[in-house]
Chain A
Amino acid sequence: MDLSGVLIKMTLLHIFVFALIALIIAWIPSRTWRGWLLFGISVMAVYNLQPEVPLRHFSFWFPTLTIILTFLTWLISGSGRAKFAPMDLRAFALAVGIIVLLDATRWLPAGLPLIADRAPPPASLALVLLAIALLGWFLKRRFGRQGIVSWILIAVVVGFFIVLKWVPVGIEVSRILRSLTGQSRELASMSDLSWIGYSYIAFRLLHALRDGMTGRLPEIDFQAFLTYVLFFPAIIAGPIDRIERFNREYSERPRISAGRLYKGSARILKGCFKKFVLADSLALVALNEINAPLIHGAGWMWLLLYAFSFRLYFDFSGYTDVAIGMGVLMGFNLPENFDQPYLKTDLAAFWNSWHITLAQWFRAYIFNPLTRALRRSELGKNIWIIILAGQLVTMILIGLWHGVTINFALWGLWHAIGLFVHNRWVDFRRTRRLALALGSFSRIEPIIGGLLTFNFVSLGWVWFALPTPELSLLVFQRLFGA
C-alpha cells in the first residue's frame, strides 16, 4: 500500500503562493470582484495542483472532469435554479473560458507553472464541452429534478471513486485508457489515475446530490457552488464543508482585516510547523512497510508505532491548519477537522475529534440513514444489533475511503468493534450505576481511559500503515514480545 495517496504532498512554495493569492483576493475592495477572482483562482488551482500523470493529457482531463462533474451536480441536485440566471451563465462562461485558455497553453513553451503537462488538442476539448453542454441541456429538459438522474450521478461519482481506490479495477481502467491514448498497456499503473483532490470533491458532490434529493439543499448559484467544491485551500486535504454554511459566508466575503490577517497567518504558520517540522521529522522513523520487518525488540516497535501515530496527526492536522488559515484570510471559517484527538478519554470522543468533517459526513449519509432503516425493520428490537451493524458498515466504509484494501477494511473493522464495545460498556455502566461503585477509581479513570484510547487507536494504525495483514500480524507479534 502506498500511503502517498493518504498523506498529502504540498510544498512550502505552494502554500506561500496560495496564501499570497488568498491575501490578494481578500484585499480587493469590490465584493463582486473578490467573488469572481476566488472563483477563477479555484478553477485554475485545480489544474495547477494536479500532478503530472503518465496518461497522455490526463493532467488536463482530470481537472476538467472535476469541473464537468461539479457542473452536472449543480444542474441536477436542485441547487441550481430552475432556469439559468445571467449570473450562472457568466460563471459558466468564465469557467469554460479558463479551460479553453489553459488548453491554449499547448502552443506556449513547455514548463509553464499553470498545468503539469501538455494540454490536449482543442478539437477534443471542444467536442467534450459540447457533449457536456448537450447532456446538461437534455437532462435538465427531460428529467428536471427527478431523483433517478441524481442516483445515476451518485453512481458515477462513486464509480470513479472505486476506480481510483481499488487497485485491480484501477489498473484495468488504466489499461483501457492507455489503449485509447495509444500508450503501452503493459505500463498501466495506479499512478496513471492520480486525480487531485477527488476524495474530497466526491464527498462534496455526494453531499449536494443527496441533500438535493431530500430537499435540504439551499438554492445556490453556479459561481458559489463551483467555488464551494473547488475551494482551493481545502481541495487537497479538506475539511469537507457543508454547502449551506459555506454559501452563507460566500455571500458575505468580507474584506481582509488586521485581525483576520493575524489569525489566518498564525494558523498557516502553525500548520507549516506541524507539517514540515514535526510530521516530516517523525516520518523518518515512523512505522512503514520497509522498516516494520526489520525492527528487533518490542520497545523499538512501540516507539516507531507512536512515531507513526503522531506523524499522521501532525501531517494531516498541519494541512488542515493551513487550509483553515487561508480560509480565514479570505473571510471563511472552515470547520475544524481535529480537536486534540489523542487526549480524548474514550473512542467515541476520539472519533468526534479526528477527521471531524469526514466522520460527520459518514454519520449524516451512512450511519444515521442505516440505523433509521434498521430500526424500522425486524431487527429494530435488538438495539445492539443496530449499533453493531451501523458501526461496522460506517467504519469499514471510512477505511475503504482511504483505499480499497484488506488492511484499510481491517482498520475500519478494528474501530467498529472498538466503538461497539465502548457503546456497550457505557450502557452497562449506566444501567448498573457502576460509576458510583468505582469510588476513588473514578478520579484516575480519565487518565486510564486516555491511555487506553490512545493505545487502541495507535494499535489500529498497524493495519493502516502497512500493506498486508501478514505484515501487520508480524508487527503485533513483535509489539507484544512474541
Chain B
Amino acid sequence: MEAETVGKTANSITGRMILRILGKTLVLLVCINLLYLLLNPLPWIGRLSIYNSIVPGRERLPYGDDPSRSFNLSLTQMDAMFASHIISSTQEPADEYRVLLIGDSATWGYLLPPDQTLAEQLNSLQLTSRDGRKVHVFNLGYPTMSATKDLMFLERSLAYDPDLIIWLFTLESMPWTKQLDSPILTLNPEATLDLMRANDLPIPASKLKASQDNLWGQTIFGQKRELADWARLQIYGLLWAATSVDHEIPATYNQRMEDLPADPNFQGYGPGELEEPDLAFDVLRASLDAANGVPILFVNEPMFISQGLNSDLRYNFYYPRWAYDRYRELLAENAQTAGWRFVDLWDMLPASVFTDSAIHYSAEGARLLALDLAIYISGQ
C-alpha cells in the first residue's frame, strides 16, 4: 500500500518540483544555520544532560582513550563535561565540607576504577573538617599535564562553592613550553585565551587557533564535532549507569620504566639550565587570585623513584635528578615566600605502588596518599 502511494507520488514528480524541493531545502538549511549562529546554543546544549537525572552523575570528568571499551570519551566542551559530573547533581548541603581535587591523570585515577581513585579513598575515610562538617571530596582531575589546564578546571570548579581545593601537580606540568600541550586547551582556544589574558600568562597565543572566530565555525556544520560528542556523551551515560565502568583497565600493561636512558636533559634543558622563569609558578599564583579566598592546598604529587640502570642520573623516565631537585627547591622557595599552603609528597609512596608510569599509582597508592592528605584536610 505504502509502496503504491510512493510510486504514484513519484510518477507525478516533475523536474521543476525537484528544483523547488532542493531550493527550499537549501533555504531552510541556511536559515537554521543562521539561527544557530545567532543563538550560539552550544553552551546551554552542553548543560543539557541526562546525567544526574536519568542516569547517575560520573564520579570523574569524562575522558576515554577507547570509547568502545571505556564507555567514555574525551570531548572539548567543558559545559558538557561538568554537567555529566556528580558535582553538578545537587546544591552543597549545609553540613558538607566540599573538597575539590584538581590535577592530572594520577588524580583522575588512570588505571583505577572510579571507586578507587584518590577522591574516593579520601571519602572512604569519612573525614570531618575542623568545624565538624562532613568532608565530601570530588574528583576534578583531568588527564594531560599542564598547569594552565589545571587552572582552567580550577576556575571552572569555583562555581561549585568549594571549601578547599587540593591541587596536585608535578614538574612535568610546569615548564612554560609545555603549557599548551593539553588538547583541552588548544581545542578551547577562546577560553584559553581569556584565561591567559585575565591572568597575564606569558604563553604564546599564536599557537592557539581561534577556530570559532570565523562564521563557519559557529554554524551547525562548524560545530558538528562538538554536537556529536555531546550526543555520544549522553548515550554513553546509559552504559555508565549499566556498568559503573568509565575507564578501560587492561588485564596487563607495560610497567613503569625501571631502567632509564642515560639522558641528563629535561624538556630541552641541559643540566643547570632550569630556572624560575622557565616554570609556570605564575599559574599557581593566578589560581590564588582566581580562588578569591577559597583555600588552595598545593601538593607536589608523589612519583616513582627508580633503583634501576642510570637511576643515579635520573629519578624516573620523566626527570633527571638535577632538574627535579631544582624544581623542588624553587617550589619550596615560592611557597615559603608567598605563604602558600603547600606540601611536598614527592617521595611518600613506595615504588611498588606505581603502575604504568612514574606518576600513576595503584589503589593501594591512592589509599596511602589519602591517609597523608587526610591530615591536611582535617586540619583546615
Residues of chain A having any CB pair with chain B under 8 Å: 258-263, 281, 284-285, 290-291, 294-297, 300-301, 303-304, 336
Residue B353 at the chain A interface, CB threshold 8 Å: no
- The answer to whether B245 and A294 have CB atoms under 8 Å apart is yes
For residue A262, which residues in chain B have a CB less than 8 angstroms away from its CB? Answer: 9-10, 13, 17-18, 21
User: Is B215 located at the chain interface by the 8 A CB criterion?
Assistant: no
Cα(A262)–Cα(B232), bound, Å: 32
A467 to chain B, nearest CB (A): 15
Complex: how many Å from CA A249 to CA B9? Answer: 21
Q: Which of B240-259 contact A (CB under 8 A)?
A: 241-245
Task: Tell me how far the C-beta of B290 lies from the nearest C-beta in chain A, rounded to whole angstroms.
Answer: 36
CB distance from A364 to the nearest CB of B (A): 23
* Structural contact, B10 and A263, CB atoms closer than 8 A: yes
Query: Which residues of chain A are within 8 angstroms of B69 by Cβ–Cβ distance?
Result: 290
Q: Which of A263, A290, A294, A300 contacts B6 (CB 8 A)?
A: A263
Asked whether B238 lies within 8 Å of A285 as measured between CB atoms, the reply is yes
Q: List 30 A-B contacts (CB under 8 A).
A: A258-B13, A258-B17, A259-B12, A260-B10, A261-B18, A262-B10, A262-B13, A262-B21, A263-B6, A263-B10, A263-B13, A281-B235, A284-B68, A284-B232, A284-B235, A284-B236, A284-B239, A285-B235, A290-B68, A291-B71, A294-B242, A294-B243, A294-B245, A295-B242, A295-B243, A296-B242, A296-B244, A300-B241, A300-B242, A303-B238
Contacting residues, chain A, for B235 (C-beta < 8 A): 281, 284-285
User: What are the residues of chain A within 8 A of B10 when measuring CB–CB?
Assistant: 259-260, 262-263
Contact between chains at A291 and B239 (CB < 8 Å): yes
Q: Is the beta-carbon distance between A259 and B241 smaller than 8 angstroms?
A: no
Determine whether the beta carbon of A258 is less than 8 Å from that of B18: yes
A258 CA to B239 CA, complexed, in Å: 46
> How near does chain A come to B244, taking the closest CB pair, in angstroms?
7
B21 — which chain A residues lie within 8 A by C-beta?
262
> Total A-B residue pairs with C-beta atoms closer than 8 Å?
59
Pick from A261, A284, A295 the residue with the most CB of B within 10 Å: A284
Let me know if B232 and A259 touch, CB within 8 A: no
Q: In the complex, what residue of chain B is closest to A294 when comparing beta carbons?
A: B243
Q: Does B205 contact A (CB under 8 A)?
A: no
- Measured in the bound complex, the distance between the Cα atoms of B6 and A336 in whole Å is 14
Q: Which residue of B lies closest to A288 (CB)?
A: B68
B232, closest chain A residue (CB): A284
A303 vs B13: C-alpha distance when bound (angstroms): 42
Question: Is the Cβ of B242 less than 8 Å from the Cβ of A303?
Answer: yes
Closest 7 CB pairs between A and B? A300-B242, A263-B10, A259-B10, A294-B243, A262-B13, A259-B13, A258-B15
Q: Which residues between 172 and 195 of chain B lie within 8 Å of chain A, taking CB atoms?
A: none
Set of chain B residues within 8 Å of A295, measured between Cβ atoms: 242-243
Determine whether B14 belongs to the interface, using a CB cutoff of 8 Å to chain A: yes
Q: Of A259, A263, A304, which one neighbours B242 at CB under 8 angstroms?
A: A304
B245 CB contacts on chain A under 8 angstroms: 294
CA distance A262 to B7 in the complex (A): 10
Q: Chain A residues with Cβ under 8 A from B241's Cβ? A: 300
Residue-wise, chain B 14-33 has the 8 Å CB interface mask toward A (1 for contact) of: 11011001000000000000
Q: A426 CB to closest chain B CB, in angstroms?
A: 25
Within 8 Å of chain A (Cβ to Cβ): is B196?
no
Distance of A271 Cα from B61 Cα, bound (Å): 36
CA separation between A261 and B17, bound complex, in Å? 11
In the assembled complex, B11 has its CB within 8 A of some CB on chain A: yes
Q: Are B13 and A281 in contact (CB under 8 A)?
A: no
C-alpha gap A62/B113 in the complex (Å) = 45
Asked if B286 is an interface residue, CB under 8 A from chain A, the answer is no
> Is B332 located at the chain interface by the 8 A CB criterion?
no
Within 8 A of A (CB), among B70-121: 71
Question: Number of B residues contacting the other chain (C-beta, 8 Å)?
Answer: 28
Alpha-carbon distance between A85 and B200 when the two chains are bound, in angstroms = 83
Report B-chain residues with C-beta under 8 Å of the C-beta of A300: 238, 241-243
Kindly list chain B residues whose C-beta atoms are within 8 Å of the C-beta of A296: 242-244
- Bound-state CA distance A258–B69 (Å) is 47
Cα A261 to Cα B241 with chains together (Å): 45
Q: How far is the CA of A284 from the CA of B244 in the complex (A)?
A: 16
User: In the complex, what distance in Å separates the CA atom of A263 from the CA atom of B11?
Assistant: 9
* A284: B residues at CB distance < 8 A: 67-68, 232, 235-236, 239
CB of A297 within 8 A of CB of B13, answer no
- The answer to whether B373 has its CB under 8 Å from any CB of chain A is no
**Which single residue of chain B is at the shortest CB-CB distance from A299?**
B242
Q: Check: B343 CB closer than 8 A to any chain A CB.
A: no
Q: Which B residues, 1 to 59, have Cβ-Cβ distances below 8 Å to chain A?
A: 3, 6-7, 9-15, 17-18, 21
Cα of A263 to Cα of B239 in the assembled complex, Å: 38
Least CB distance from A19 to B in Å reads: 15
Interface residues of B in 142-198 (CB under 8 A from A): none
Q: CB of B231 within 8 A of chain A? A: yes
Nearest opposing residue in chain A for B14, CB measure: A258
In the complex, what distance in Å separates the CA atom of A291 from the CA atom of B21? Answer: 44
Given A258-B15, A262-B18, A303-B238: A291 in contact with B243 (beta carbons within 8 A): yes
**Residues on B with beta carbons closer than 8 Å to the beta carbon of A301:** 242
Q: Cβ of B13: which chain A residues have Cβ within 8 Å of it?
A: 258-259, 261-263
Instruction: Specify which of A259, A261, A300 lies most central, judged by the most chain B CB atoms within 10 Å of its CB.
Output: A259
Note all chain A residues with C-beta closer than 8 A to B9: 262-263
Which residue of A is nearest B237, CB measured? A285
Given A261-B18, A284-B236, A290-B69, 5 new contacts (CB under 8 A)? A259-B11, A285-B239, A291-B71, A291-B239, A301-B242
Determine how close the nearest CB of chain A comes to the CB of B235; give it in whole angstroms.
Answer: 5
Q: How far is the CA of A285 from the CA of B231 in the complex (A)?
A: 12
A314 to chain B, nearest CB (A): 14
Closest residue of chain B to A277 (Cβ to Cβ) is: B231
Instruction: State A259–B231 Cα separation when bound (angstroms).
Output: 36
Chain B residue contacts of A294, Cβ below 8 A: 242-243, 245
B287 CB, min distance to chain A CBs, angstroms = 36
Chain A residues with CB under 8 A of B244: 296
Within 8 Å CB of B71, what residues of A? 291
- Chain A residue contacts of B231, Cβ below 8 A: 281
C-alpha gap A284/B3 in the complex (Å): 32
Residues in A neighbouring B15, C-beta threshold 8 A: 258
Q: What is the CB-to-nearest-CB distance from A124 to chain B, in angstroms, rounded to a whole number?
A: 40
Query: Chain A's nearest CB lies how many Å from the CB of B56?
Result: 12
B283 smallest CB distance to A (angstroms): 37
A295 to B7, CA, bound (A): 46
Q: Which of B9, B10, B15, B235 has the most CB of A within 10 A?
A: B10
Residues of A within 8 A of B6 (CB): 263
Chain A residues, Cβ within 8 Å of B236 = 284-285
Residues 207-254 of B contacting A (Cβ, < 8 Å): 231-232, 235-236, 238-239, 241-245
Tell me the nearest residue of chain A to B242, going by C-beta: A300
Instruction: Say whether B232 contacts A291, CB under 8 Å.
Output: no
Q: How far apart sit A453 and B335, CA to CA, in the bound complex (Å)?
A: 70
B156 to chain A, nearest CB (A): 27
Residue of B nearest to A292 (CB): B243
Residues of A within 8 A of B239 (CB): 284-285, 291
- Residues from chain B with Cβ under 8 Å of A285 in the complex: 235-236, 238-239
Closest to A283 in B: B68
Complex formed: what's the CA distance from A291 to B241 in Å? Answer: 12
CA distance A476 to B226 in the complex (A): 37
Quote the shortest CB–CB distance from A268 to chain B (angstroms): 14
A301 to B242, CA, bound (A): 8
Known contacts A260-B10, A263-B10, A290-B69; A297/B242 CB under 8 A? yes
**Which residue in chain B gives the minimum CB-CB distance to A260?**
B10
